[in-house]
Amino acid sequence: MTIKAIVIPVLIAGAVITTNMASAEDGLESYRNRFEALPHLPPIPADNSLTEEKIELGNMLFFEPRISSSGVISCATCHNPALGWADRIPRAVGHDGQIGERNTPTVLNSGFLESQFWDGRAADLEAQALGPIEAPVEMAMDLEMALDRLVGFELYQEKFGEAYPNQEDPITDDNLAHALAAFQRTLNTPSSPFDRYLHGDQEAISEQAKDGMVAFVDNGCIACHRGSNFTDSQFHAIQVPGSTDLGRYVVTEEESDKYRFRTPTLRNVAVTYPYMNNGATETLEEAVAIMGQEMLGREFDDDTIGDITAFLNTLTGEMPEFEVPALP
């Protein structure tokens, strides 16, 4: 493997990152130390304890199409476990075949994010959960009607009762959101090859992927894609080819937030194509090149693109366990 002899300060999002050439071994160690393995669970909020009962209920609700107005769209339609818990099309297709504005983010490891949606308009999974149910281009459902449908099933009365004991009428919007959030906090991929590498298994990733790790640091990708979930949770301005999406501005209406999007995770990025807020970028190589140009002002050569892509491919973890529930 080769360590690139790049010694430059890279200024991104206010952080100065200085990289140094060193002996190959020391060098790798110092690079490796810039990363964090993924914990098995994300932080659990004090007001939504992670109980087996809530997880089971959330699992049912995640696959429940009757909480959409058509009766055929569930969370799992766009966050499809067969497709990296996303949909592998550019932009989400929802109610009556309407096409949304943005690419579906994976729910994998979403409990580690400090805000939800591309524009961060929900602070946490609880605040996120009901949005797609009500969104006219997604499940297009009146929330009261969704709750009424759930009330109509004895099994849901029982399961909500078990998940939220001592509540007289536990089938509420809050409890629905909390159960979905609880289930999603279990959908993590902590055992990627790169995590195994960080835990000390030198053979877990290829030499090319190690070169990619170095390039990822040296070129400053890590400035934004950092921490155990490869995101700084900050909003950065970017206009990828074909996008006119105003991003964070839609939420804050502050001029300075135009075209800003929350840094997406890179975990499982190889299985959650296509890329960018508009899903217009099909391959990882293309995405790496675009990010080099747009965010770093660099034209990566083919070797660098290949190395970084090899590195990103090591971030695909083992898919989490879940049940295909027997719905009532």
Residue stretches of the annotated binding site for heme c: 75, 78-79, 95, 221, 224-225, 291
Stretch that binds its own copies, among 48-56, 172-180, 228-236, 320-328 (CB under 8 A): 320-328
Separation between Cα atoms, residue 192 and residue 199, nearest integer Å: 11
Q: Does 71 bind its own copies (CB under 8 A)?
A: yes
Q: What is the footprint of its own copies within residues 267-296 (CB under 8 A)?
A: 271
State which of residues 12, 13, 89, 122 lies at the interface with its own copies (CB under 8 A). Answer: 89
Rounded-to-integer distance, Cα 35 and Cα 168, Å: 47
Residue 324: HSE in the Cβ half-sphere, 13 Å Cα cutoff: 4
> Which of 138, 203, 286, 321 is labelled catalytic?
138
Whether residue 282 lies in the annotated active site: no
For the CB of residue 324, give the shortest distance to its own copies in the complex, in Å. 5
Kindly report the number of other CB atoms within 10 A of residue 99's CB atom: 11
The phi, psi pair for 54, rounded to 5°, reads: -70, -40
Sign for the pseudo-dihedral over CA of 101, 118, 313, 86: negative
Helix (H) / strand (E) containing 295: helix 284-296
Give the interface size with its own copies as a residue count (CB under 8 A): 26
Segment interacting with its own copies, rule: CB under 8 A, options 46-54, 66-74, 188-196, 250-258: 66-74
Geometric angle at alpha carbon 218, from 214 and 222, rounded to 5°:
85
State in angstroms the smallest separation of the CB of 46 from its own copies.
Answer: 32
Choice from 4, 32, 95, 121 touching its own copies (CB under 8 A): 95
Of 42, 28, 54, nearest to 265 (Cα)?
42
Options 86, 93, 147, 288; binder of its own copies; rule CB under 8 A: 93
Instruction: Out of 30, 51, 80, 191, point to the residue binding its own copies (CB under 8 A).
Output: 80
Choice from 72, 145, 151, 155 touching its own copies (CB under 8 A): 72
Residue closest to 28 by CA, chosen among 39, 38, 20: 20
Q: What is the DSSP letter of 257?
A: G
DSSP state of 104: P
Is the Cβ–Cβ distance between 75 and 68 less than 8 Å?
Answer: no
319 lines the binding site for its own copies (CB under 8 A): yes
Residues with catalytic roles: 138
The site for its own copies (CB under 8 A) is made up of 63-66, 70-72, 77-78, 80-83, 87-89, 93, 95-97, 271, 319, 324-327
